[in-house]
Amino acid sequence: MKKQFLVIGLGRFGVSVAGTLTEAGYSVVGIDQSEDRIQRVSEEIADVIKCDATDADILESIGISDYEAVIVCIGEKYIQNSILVTLLLKEKDAKKIIAKAGTKTQVRVFQ
């Protein structure tokens, strides 16, 4: 069975990460709360879900522990959401969490 990765945030960075993983032969699920982004990437990423990743119940329903890693690609404008999502993923027992950080302070928060 292919390793599965979950990419949260489908802006430029998230789409790039998802594309690289897909090209490497991995199974990728992307999530974003923007309908426009979901529509734009639906041909590049086979499985996309429109949802708010800051909702703990939604994260639980996605089956976080089924993924090899969860990659948080939420943009710097939404750093509070990125921190919250990362915390929720830890609480939901994600196997591995990789989070995009733009500053040294963010790196410390994510550790």
Smallest CA-to-CA distance from 4 within 82, 64, 74, 93 is with: 64
Question: Is a pLDDT exceeding 80 seen at residue 18?
Answer: yes
> In this predicted structure, what is the pLDDT of residue 15?
95
Joined together, the tokens standing for residue 79 give 């750093």
Contact criterion met (CB below 8 Å) for 71 and 46: no
> In this predicted structure, what is the pLDDT of residue 79?
82
> In this predicted structure, what is the pLDDT of residue 8?
97
Q: Any idea where the domains of the chain sit in the sequence?
A: 4-110
pLDDT, tens only, 43-64: 888 899 999 999 999 999 999 9
Q: How far apart are CA 45 and CA 103, in angstroms?
A: 28
Top CATH class of 4-110 equals alpha beta
